[in-house]
Amino acid sequence: MRILHCLSQIPGKTGSGVYLQAIVREAAGSGFEQAVVCGLPETMPVNETDLAIEPENIFATRFDSNDLPFPVAGMSDVMPYPSTRFSSFDEHRLNLYKKAFSKILTAAVEKFSPDLIHSHHLWILTALCKELFPEIPLVTSVHGTELRQLQLAGHLADKIIEDVQTVEKALTLNHDQRQKVLATYNLSPEQVTVTGTGYRQDLFCSDFCNKEKIPTIIYAGKLSRAKGVLWLVKAFNNLNDNAQLWLAGSGDGPEADEIKTLAIANPRIKLLGALSQPELADRFKQAHIMALPSFYEGLPLVLLEALACNCRVVVTDLPGIRELVTREAVKDGLVNLIPTPPLSGPDILLPENEKTFLLHLEKALITQLENVKKQQFICCHSLQTTLNETGWQQVFRRIKIVYNEVLQKQD
């Protein structure tokens, strides 16, 4: 089987990019022939994408170039690298974007002749795949950020929803997201199936855990307000505790600068920068608590990665989280859920709600720090079952079933 994967941004730098790398790696292990279309800065070599395929089968649309004279357009408004917001797209910029990706897509299909296209996000690139190659079956992984962009870049929404109606299959991360996709995109129930997300079980595990002597909280992700990082730093600063906070990740622009400035002022907070998967696994094995006070998530596999490394968790009570981490883990206190605050739009915390959110976050951190000091060990059987079943090998097995179904229908 020949699969052409399509991602409109840089592989490996965000959740969808890690997902792409994992699926390519699993498919390569199953003997699939593969190529990838992705969006890269003009100066980034294709071999830096860490994709398990030959460089000649990576087709890059180049940003900050003559064809696209602006940074990579990101599916989140704050990316871990210089980026452009889709909300800033006028008709001219949109046409440049479509033209550049159409050129690369056409070259990839002509050279590689895929049996099937697997795109990421129900967004512009997926619509282009169907417009240019209606005869090639199209499977699309939903990551959740496209649902947010439908609100943030509302002037693009109607056309995108119309243009993705004929995708063969949309793959969602959980059942809640499936319901949102059905309601938002008006797809039929037969078009949308849950395949979930996964993590690297070879890296993220309890083997060789060496926890810090000082209680350690870690955050991993983009340094942005939407991820709740600013309030995590503020909450940590309010704690009267001999603990430390690690911030793993990067960001660009005033939001990241604000977070970094506040963090640097506290000697108990360490900025780790962007980490590779092996580096992040090592940090999780040293930390005691993983904090993710985000206002919007698709399905954060970073929670599974941390739990697999024997970290306790503090996370916002977002749709799909209880399903992911299991209700038993919440009941037993291994996972502490923070009430989701009222928001403006998909991910903006209203000033009048900041105080309450901060208090909830502080309380959750204090509770988990106390549990760490008690050296409590919890054996959560349902969580262990989830961890065993959510490796990338299992996720790809479900995706492979979809590939075969789609191709059989075409025959």
**282 and 329 belong to one structural domain:** yes
Contact 8, 2 (CB under 8 A): no
Average pLDDT of the chain?
94
Q: Give me the sign of the Cα torsion angle 171, 112, 33, 61.
A: negative
pLDDT digits (tens, 9 = 90+) for 260-276: 999 999 999 999 999 99
Strand partners of residue 272: none
pLDDT digits (tens, 9 = 90+) for 26-79: 999 999 999 999 999 999 999 999 999 999 999 999 999 999 999 999 999 989
**255 and 144 belong to one structural domain:** no
Whether residue 203 is contained in a domain is answered as: no
**258 and 184 belong to one structural domain:** no
**140 and 57 belong to one structural domain:** yes
Whether residue 207 is contained in a domain is answered as: no
Distance between CA 28 and CA 23 in Å, rounded? 8
Tell me, rounded to whole angstroms, the distance of Cα 130 from its chain centroid: 24
Domain count, the chain: 2
Weakest mean pLDDT among 92-96, 231-235, 391-395: 391-395
The proportion of the chain whose per-residue pLDDT surpasses 70, expressed as a percent, equals 99
Whether residue 211 is contained in a domain is answered as: no
The pLDDT, as a whole number, for residue 34 is: 99
* Cα-based distances in Å from 273 to 204, 247, 248, 279: 19, 7, 5, 11
Whether residue 210 is contained in a domain is answered as: no
Whether residue 209 is contained in a domain is answered as: no
**148 and 112 belong to one structural domain:** yes
Give me 250's structure tokens: 């990067």
**175 and 302 belong to one structural domain:** no
* 206 or 181, higher pLDDT: 181
Whether residue 205 is contained in a domain is answered as: no
**382 and 406 belong to one structural domain:** no
Contact 220, 227 (CB under 8 A): no
Whether residue 206 is contained in a domain is answered as: no
**318 and 226 belong to one structural domain:** yes
The pLDDT, as a whole number, for residue 376 is: 63
Which residues span the domain enclosing 321?
A: 216-389
**329 and 385 belong to one structural domain:** yes
**91 and 63 belong to one structural domain:** yes
Whether residue 208 is contained in a domain is answered as: no
pLDDT digits (tens, 9 = 90+) for 345-394: 778 898 999 999 999 999 999 999 999 988 766 667 788 888 888 899 99
**115 and 150 belong to one structural domain:** yes
The pLDDT, as a whole number, for residue 197 is: 87
pLDDT digits (tens, 9 = 90+) for 128-174: 999 999 999 999 999 999 999 999 999 999 999 999 999 999 999 98
The pLDDT, as a whole number, for residue 251 is: 85
In 3D, which of 55, 66, 63, 53 has the Cα closest to residue 20? 53
Residue 58 belongs to domain with CATH number = 3.40.50.2000
**23 and 54 belong to one structural domain:** yes
pLDDT band at 18 (very low <50, low <70, confident <90, very high): very high
